[in-house]
Amino acid sequence: MSHSTAETLRFPPVSGLTIRGEFDGGPMSTDIGPLLLREVDRQVGLTERLTQAIEDHRHPSYVDHPLRDLLAQRIYQIACGYEDANDATTLRHDPLFQLSLERDPLAEGVTLASAPTFSRLENSVSNQDLYRIASAFVEGFIASYATPPELIVLDLDHAEDRTHGQQELSVYNGHYGSHCYLPLFVFEGLSGKFITAVLRPGKRPTGVENASIIKRILKRLREHWPETHMVLRGDSHFANPELMALARTDPLLDFVSGVAGNQVLSPLAEPALARAWALHQLGCTNAERTGNPLPSHTRVYDELDYAAQSWPRPFRVILKAEIMSQGENPRFVVTSLEQPTPESVYRTLYCARGQDENYIKYLKQDLHSDRTSDHRFRANTLRLYFACGAYVLHHALRTETLRHTELAKAQPTTVIQKLFKLAVRVIRYKDRLKLQLPSACPVQALLKRVTEILYQLPKPAWNTS
């Protein structure tokens, strides 16, 4: 079945031979990624859970594309680098995307959903649907552990999602200097697993809002893991009394958050800064004597006795007193943890939250979670969740199937370029379909390893209730 066009590609001649290109290759694809993603999806049960979360109001007599197929198609396309829903109008004829949805790509009249179908889907979801989707991601995170973990770290962070038009609930944010949304992302900091996300207006969140969202997540987690030690980790947006009070209600819940310096807290750092200056000057003197480079910085860690007026009680405040060539650079962290040393709290626990920004970068830059250009807020929320679903599949593929390979720590774009983007021709025989791949494929061994792992894994019996 051919979907050729009249387009002709012209290239400069080589060795006296004219070179022309035609889009008449028939059942060919530029992506083997959808088949890999399908097998990962079967293992983690992502699209099955999301399907159960959405109430489908369509009349069965007029349904050409089941809801699960719509979710899988959109998420697989984003995970393969096609973030624009308009791409679906062309990719609906792609044989590998059709195979990933268990359609016969060579059967007459077989097509997937087009862009208008996804537009209707995005604008049909309710607030209740979106709440259940957010909860479904949490349930998927819980199911990713065979046994309850001893410790998890909930990394909390907001990220700018710029708006460019008349999107609902778009608000000007003075910190970012733009009209935007400000979604909240929650990852597990030790593993990089996605927990859930909430699309929200661009204004700075209040402590009540943060606490209400986190309280719902913790309730779900505690139902399954009553003995797991959990740590909330975030920047100064999360150093508010509501989250502190929430941590006090659970003996196995702690927090560590950045704190901005103020007219009360900053003077308390002066003694530690003085010690840091003395050490820095000594280091510079010793370097000059021995002819070595001057130290770029000197750090002293300490803890302070401090409580803001809004805090429910005094908490341990960690100070990093740093001296650099540009001057002083004090930083503060508040925590309910009592055992770790000040340096361990700051360097080992708090600074590790920087990895959370990489996870958000994967979502925004690689999987385009900020493609929220629809007028309606609910439609944009579903678009965000499509990208989050693509992140879940990429993370599972990378950390499980690609473990101990060159792509074990690769970001999604690298996996897409090196593994997914591969020309494939589909050929039918009497009893099977054959996928013809390039003979000069640089990832033959890797692809063989990945497909064998996925082929031999049994399909889990997921409980999506």
List strands edge to edge, sheet with 171-173.
Answer: 161-162, 178-181, 171-173
Phi-psi region of 245 (alpha: psi -120 to 50; beta: other; left: phi over 0): alpha
Asked if 115 and 199 sit in the same domain, the reply is: no
Tokens of 299: 């750090």
Instruction: Report, as an integer, the average pLDDT of 255-274.
Output: 89
Residue at 318 is within a domain:
yes
- Residues 71 and 188 both lie in one domain: no
Residue 450 clears pLDDT 90, i.e. is over it: yes
Asked if residue 169 and residue 102 are part of one domain, the reply reads no
Contact, 194 vs 392, CB < 8 A?
yes
Pair (308, 353) in one structural domain: yes
Give a yes or no: residue 400 inside a domain: no
Q: Are residues 104 and 158 in the same domain?
A: no
Residue 388 lies in a domain: no
Domain boundary residue, one of 366, 382, 398:
366
Residues 121 and 148 in one domain: no
Q: Please choose, from the candidates 410, 457, 382, the residue with its C-alpha nearest in 3D space to the C-alpha of residue 126.
A: 382
Q: Based on the domain organization, do 240 and 339 belong to the same domain?
A: yes
Q: From 348, 317, 322, select the one nearest 333 (Cα to Cα).
A: 317
Same domain, 42 and 70: yes
314's tokens: 């005094």
Task: Tell me what the mean pLDDT of segment 409-433 comes to.
Answer: 93
With 50 as the cut, is the pLDDT of residue 1 above it?
no
Q: What is the pLDDT of residue 461?
A: 62
- From residue 47, alpha-carbon distances to 38, 41, 71, 143 in Å are 10, 7, 6, 14
CA distance 122 to 372: 11
Residue 154: how many other CB atoms lie within 10 Å: 21
Contacts of 70 (CB under 8 A, 6+ apart): 113, 117, 118, 121
Average pLDDT taken over every residue of the chain? 92
Name the pLDDT band for 243 (thresholds 50, 70, 90). very high
pLDDT value of position 120: 95
Distance CA 363, CA 386 (A): 10
* Single-letter code of the amino acid located at 22: E
Which residue type does 184 have?
Answer: L
Predicted confidence (pLDDT) at residue 125 exceeds the cutoff of 90:
yes
The C-alpha atoms of residue 53 and residue 177 are separated, in whole angstroms, by: 36
CA–CA dist 196, 385 (Å, integer): 9
Q: Is residue 208 part of a domain?
A: yes
Residue 431: inside a domain, yes or no? yes
Copy the structure tokens of residue 154. 């909930």
Residue that wins the pLDDT comparison between 6 and 316: 316
pLDDT at position 449 is 95
Spacing of C-alpha 85 from chain mean position: 19
Instruction: Indicate whether 39 and 149 sit together in one domain.
Output: no
pLDDT, one tens digit per residue, over 386-420 is 999 999 999 999 999 999 999 999 999 999 999 99
Nearest-angstrom CA–CA distance, 271 and 269? 6
Give me the helices (H) in 291-353, please.
342-343
pLDDT higher than 80, residue 2: no
Q: How many helices (H) and strands (E) does the chain have?
A: 16, 17
Q: 37 is in which domain, residue-wise?
A: 8-125+421-456
Cα–Cα distance, 236 to 256 (Å, whole number): 10
- Asked, for residue 228, whether it belongs to a domain, the answer is yes
Domain total of the chain: 2
The pLDDT value given to residue 4 = 46
Contact present, 232 and 211 (Cβ < 8 Å): no
**Residue 315 forms beta bridges with which residues?**
306
Tell me the pLDDT tens digit for each residue of 68-113. Answer: 999 999 999 999 999 999 999 999 999 999 999 999 998 888 899 9
Q: State the residue for tokens 């973990």.
A: 149
Whether residue 253 is found in the same domain as residue 362: yes
**Coil vs helix vs strand at 327:** strand
pLDDT at 3 over 90: no
Predicted confidence at residue 329, as pLDDT, reads 87
Measured between alpha carbons, how far is 144 from 142 in angstroms, rounded to an integer?
5
Q: What percent of the chain has pLDDT over 70?
A: 98
- Choosing from 366, 387, 402, the residue where a domain stops is 366
Q: Which residue, of 322, 346, 366, is where some domain finishes?
A: 366
Please tell me the predicted confidence (pLDDT) of residue 17: 87
Segment holding 153, helix H or strand E: strand 151-158
β-strand partners of 231 = 153, 254
Q: How far apart are CA 381 and CA 132, in angstroms?
A: 12
Q: What is the pLDDT of residue 459?
A: 72
- Overall residue count recorded for the chain in this entry: 465
Question: How wide is the angle at C-alpha 30 spanned by C-alphas 422 and 9, nearest 5°?
Answer: 120
Distance CA 198, CA 183 (A): 5
Q: Is residue 433 part of a domain?
A: yes
Confirm whether 439 is domain-assigned. Answer: yes
User: Is there a single domain that holds both residue 154 and residue 109?
Assistant: no
172 and 236 Cβ atoms separated by less than 8 Å: no
Give, in order, the Cα–Cα distances in Å from 389 to each of 47, 123, 141, 180, 382: 8, 18, 12, 22, 10
DSSP class of 217: H
pLDDT of residue 464: 45
- Average pLDDT estimate for 157-161: 95
Q: Which two tokens stand for residue 127?
A: 């607030």
d(CA 447, CA 28): 18
The pTM assigned to this predicted structure is 0.92
Is residue 317 a contact partner of residue 332, using CB atoms and an 8 Å limit? yes
Does 186 lie in the same domain as 114? Answer: no
Expressed in angstroms, the distance from the first to the final Cα of the chain is 40
Transcribe 173-203 into DSSP letters. Answer: ETTTTEEEE--EEEEETTT--EEEEE--BSS
b (16+ CB within 10 A) / e for 238-264:
bbbbbbbebbeeeeebbbbbbbeeeee
Q: What is the mean pLDDT of residues 195-217?
A: 95
d(CA 152, CA 229): 7
Query: Would you give the distance in Å from CA 46 to the centre of its chain?
Result: 14
CATH number at residue 341: 3.90.350
